[in-house]
Amino acid sequence: MIVLKQQSEIDKIRASNVIVAEVLAALREEVREGVTTRQLDCLSEELVLKKGAKPAFKGYRGYPFSLCASVNDEIIHGLPSERALVDGDIVGLDFGAFYMGYYGDAAITVPVGRISQEAVRLLQTTEEALALAIDEARVGNRLGDISAAVQGHVEAAGFSVVRDFVGHGIGRNLHEDPQIPNYGVRGRGIKLKAGMVLAIEPMVNAGSHRIKMRPDGWTAVTADGRLSAHFEHTVAITENGPEILSRRQ
């Protein structure tokens, strides 16, 4: 069941997502060689609490941290650790907030120092795929238009989209209907309506789309050990087009 949101609810979801955007912007500034992903996790929690919000992921289905930090071949749900970032790494930072009864959720992937040409292209392609997908989040379009936009752009670049994880509706719950695959067929799927709020999150692998789970039960990694990138925004579908809620104001 898809819950459509009133303007007053969208305003609260925006408030939560602006906090997420501010936390991610602060984390991005701290990413450098020598910083551990656990330090980034601690900082994210400190900042979100200071803003009067709660970390959305901590305790969600037993997730033990506030931040997901996924390095290099880690796709999503990377567990913060004493691992220090090194020059040439890419690190996915996925963060959620809970504020005034509503969830915010967004992710960025950030370079550490100088990264390879392939890594640069992977980050660019994934972020572009997200932008193209958001542009399809319009009244009258279909869910498959969002999915196909991601898949088309990613595969044209010679990369692959992860199939085992999807984007999602968001609001009073972190994960609501509909599921939003990053692959699909234009013109298929449900019709998009004003009041839908969607967390659109392409996960893109440099090589094969196949994944493996680490024994920690959380971290998804690429089966072939190659790089993966992840960008996510929470977006409201309005009569005036898509509105990105997870943006600093």
- Answer for which of 41, 73, 74, 105 binds ligand MF3 (CB under 6 A) is 105
DSSP symbol at 62 = G
Residue 60 binds which one of Co ion, ligand MF3, none, with CB within 5 to 8 A depending on kind?
ligand MF3
Surface-to-core class of residue 77, CB atoms within 10 Å of its CB (0-12 exposed, 13-18 middle, 19+ buried):
buried
Q: Which is nearer to Co ion, 199 or 211 (CB)?
A: 199
Q: Which residue is nearest to ligand MF3 (CB)?
A: 63
Distance between CA atoms of 104 and 224, rounded to whole angstroms?
32
CA dihedral sign, ordered 105, 218, 71, 47: positive
Smallest distance from ligand MF3 to CB 47, Å? 17
Region of residue 233 (left: phi > 0; alpha: psi -120 to 50; beta: else): beta
Q: Nearest Cα to 248, choosing from 11, 20, 12?
A: 20
- Residue pair 160/207 in contact (Cβ under 8 Å)? The answer is yes
Question: By CB under 6 A, what part of segment 164-183 binds ligand MF3?
Answer: 168
Q: Smaller CB distance to Co ion: residue 117 or 149? A: 149
Would you say 227 and 73 are in contact if contact means Cβ atoms under 8 Å apart?
yes
Binder of ligand MF3 out of 5, 47, 57, 89 (CB under 6 A):
57
Exactly one of 35, 63, 152, 247 binds ligand MF3 (CB under 6 A); which one?
A: 63
Binding piece for ligand MF3, criterion CB under 6 A, among 37-45, 56-64, 119-127, 236-244: 56-64
| Residue ranges binding Co ion (CB under 5 A) | 105, 199
| Residue ranges binding ligand MF3 (CB under 6 A) | 57, 60-61, 63, 68, 77, 94, 105, 107, 168, 199, 232
